[in-house]
Structure 1
Amino acid sequence: RHSFFDLILEPGEKQTVTVTLKNDTNREMTIEQDVTSATTNINGVVEYSPNDIEPDESLRFNYDDLINAEREITLPAHSEKTVNIELEMPNEKFDGQLVGGLTYREKIKEEEVVPSDQEGLAVTNRFAFVIALLMRQNKNTVEPDLKLHNVAPGQVNYRNVINVNLQNPKMTFLNRMHVNAKVQGIDNPDIVYSVNQDRMQMAPNTNFDFPISLEGDRLRPGRYLMTMTVNGTKDDQGDYTATNREGEEVTYRHEWRFEREFTITGAQADDFNERDVTIEPENRSWLKWLIIGLLLLLILLLIWFILWKRRKKKEEEEKAKKEAEIAALRAQLENQELPKIPKE
């Protein structure tokens, strides 16, 4: 029994490999057969089975275009069947490896789904296994490379992280990958997050988001600097050393150093903090009382303005009335004849 195929083929050459499936149960089974190119997940582990990870832009040959295989296979009870998988090597010459996998899973019918006690959930039990599939045209050595793409805030399992996207653009594995990284605030240097993680692996022509945990802290807006050293391919004769989490010094053949400034906006911080399940919601009761206080002040100002307006209007009316009375009295006096004074 083999857990992988490692094939060397000439450009354009075709070959058929076989997989034997066996059903030891008392019922008929339908097996789903999937073919996919390998990817790298956020834990630095190579995935050979189908997933939601997008193919990397450096992937020149996708297994979907190179392999012809049945999508479903029916196995009667207590039977076995040999399945043929037709492979075709690309016509273009290259050094390196094409890496992918064959995944076999039992197809579950709706009536076989077991309801769960929790509303909206269902439980299914089915077997699955994966066979790694490697194809190459020669045994020429290809040295790995590593590139830094984006650095941005994100989440893993609803917990805040800083995602550092790393790409392996070469047609070879990056083995025994060791990452030592730090994120520090530029506006606030007291903000520091670091990680030291080793024993990772990247599949050829893949990328993944390496997460730097905030360890339950809130994301805070501002400018930050990410520095990272990545080592790969353990080699006692290598030129680079790194210390792992256990305090052991390990020698590597390759090393890459990256540095990148990035910014976390207020909107990003609010959005991720609200969705982080480890962060207690901020106590905003002060804001409620502030709003209530401002509303009361506004009402008092409005009442004062109305009363002031009424008072001013009354004063103006009284002033106008007095002025009218004075004017009327003056007119009356002017219309009266002055008394004549007798002559002596």
Structure 2
Amino acid sequence: MMMKLSKRYWLMTCFASLLACLGVFISRGDTVKAAETNLVVTPVYTDNQIGGHTGYFNTYVAPGETQTYTFLVANKSDDKRTLYMRFNAGYTNQSGNAVFDSTKIPADSSLKYDMAKELLVGNRVKRVHVEGQETGTVSFEVKAPSTAYNGVIMGGVVTSTSGKSSLKSDGTLLKNDYGYAIPIFIRNQQEVSVSPKITLGTVKPAMRNGSPAVLVQTKNEQPAYLTTSTITAKVYRKGESKVYKKSTNSAITMAPNSNFEYGIDWGKNRVEAGDYKLDYTVSQGKLKTWHFTKNFTISNDDAKRLNDLAGFKPNYTWLWILLAVVVLIVILLIGILVGRRNKKNNNSNGNNNANGGKDSRRSRK
């Protein structure tokens, strides 16, 4: 039986739901349409929906109770259509967006409940056949944690029209087969007081989208959704005050208890080995700001590997400079030796001439 929501909780959750809409990939309104298939999907809301009919599910489910999430599928075409619906857990992708489009999510030690693996009851993939100009329904059941949980658990349902063949090897849906996505947020405690907590993990050089980059592992360690935020990353050479590399992204969202690697693109520049300092800021509007500094090193092996992968030719400038310096030194040394030899010869000739003159004068006497 659903508990009565307090006015304070209602206002808080309505505001949180409104902010969540800004960062999650969903279509606006109650209906989500897959234009290529003429299939229209409508969430069927229940009494425990928080924040009104927002186009996604945001529900309070009492500890241990099971919630049914039902979708109404309308086929607007004249032909029979088949739709595959897949239930996934929420995570943060490598672009820095909270999503649920993959069957495999990055491991995170702070994640207590994987909605798809631990809370979903039944199969995570369901198929629905809908005759032309008819409607059908498909439902998923989720059981809330048995004990009160101070936080939000995120998941969602994505669709395709070709089943398993629409999935890549990493479990992500192919874009050309992506029908729609509807997020699902669950909480089993009325007063949720937890807020996002951002921390940093590893900082390492790697390839990203075919270009060298430095990847900064960014973690949200709390069961709270990080609304639209800005990341500003600056890289300095050790001991220098001038910014060497800078990157900014103002469309960052993070799923509860998730992590991703923020990429600082090195552009078309060669990666140079050495010691660097990272200045990293995550700003959640006026709500909260996290600031970090961290030293890291790019080894000679890492620089060579990334430059080779990026197609940069070996840089022999230093070798040519060294060779030019050596040649110049050799020329100078040869010049000095030749000069000394010439001077010695001139001195010898002068002495001989002087001695010859004396001998002549003696002979005349």
**Normalised by the shorter chain, which TM-score bucket?**
0.5 to 0.7
Q: Which residue of the other structure, out of 119, 122, 126, is the alignment partner of 1:72?
A: 126
Q: What does the per-residue CA deviation read over 1:3-33, in whole Å, with 9 as the maximum and x for residues that have no partner? A: 2101101110112121112333454433222
In the TM superposition, residue 187 of structure 1 has moved relative to its aligned partner by 7.1
Q: For residues 188 and 225 of structure 1, what CA distance do their matches in structure 2 show?
A: 9
Partner of 1:266: 300
Q: What does the per-residue CA deviation read over 1:155-200, in whole Å, with 9 as the maximum and x for residues that have no partner? A: 2211111111110010111223222221112277777111233232
Please tell me whether the aligned partners of residues 206 and 215 of structure 2 are also in contact (alpha carbons under 8 angstroms). Answer: yes
Report 1:61-210 matches (<5 A): 61-64=113-116, 65-70=118-123, 71-78=125-132, 79-107=134-162, 126-137=177-188, 138-186=190-238, 192-210=244-262
CA, structure 1 residues 171+108, in 2 after alignment: closer, same or farther (shift >3 Å)?
A: closer
Please tell me whether the aligned partners of residues 70 and 139 of structure 2 are also in contact (alpha carbons under 8 angstroms). Answer: yes
Name whichever structure is richer in helix by fraction.
2
Q: For residues 35 and 21 of structure 1, what CA distance do their matches in structure 2 show?
A: 16
Q: Unaligned regions of 5+ residues in structure 1, if any?
A: 113-122, 235-251, 288-344
Runs (4+) of structure 1 moved beyond 3 Å?
24-30, 123-127, 187-191, 282-287
Q: Unaligned regions of 5+ residues in structure 2, if any?
A: 1-29, 31-42, 44-54, 167-173, 320-365
Whichever of the two has the greater Rg, that structure is: 1
1:55 pairs with 2:107: yes
Name whichever structure is richer in strand by fraction.
1
RMSD: 2.8
Partner of 1:212: 264
Q: Which residue of the other structure, out of 251, 270, 279, is the alignment partner of 1:227?
A: 279
- TM-score, normalised via structure 1 length: 0.67
Q: For residues 262 and 119 of structure 2, what CA distance do their matches in structure 1 show?
A: 30
Q: For residues 217 and 53 of structure 1, what CA distance do their matches in structure 2 show?
A: 32
Equivalenced residues, count: 256
In the TM superposition, residue 77 of structure 1 has moved relative to its aligned partner by 3.4
Q: What does the per-residue CA deviation read over 1:197-229, in whole Å, with 9 as the maximum and x for residues that have no partner? A: 323211110111111111221111111111112
Matched position secondary structure for 2:180 = strand
Percentage identity across paired residues of the two chains: 24
Partner of 2:344: none
Q: For residues 305 and 241 of structure 2, what CA distance do their matches in structure 1 show?
A: 23
Matched position secondary structure for 2:287 = strand
In the TM superposition, residue 270 of structure 1 has moved relative to its aligned partner by 1.4
Please tell me whether the aligned partners of residues 196 and 224 of structure 2 are also in contact (alpha carbons under 8 angstroms). Answer: yes
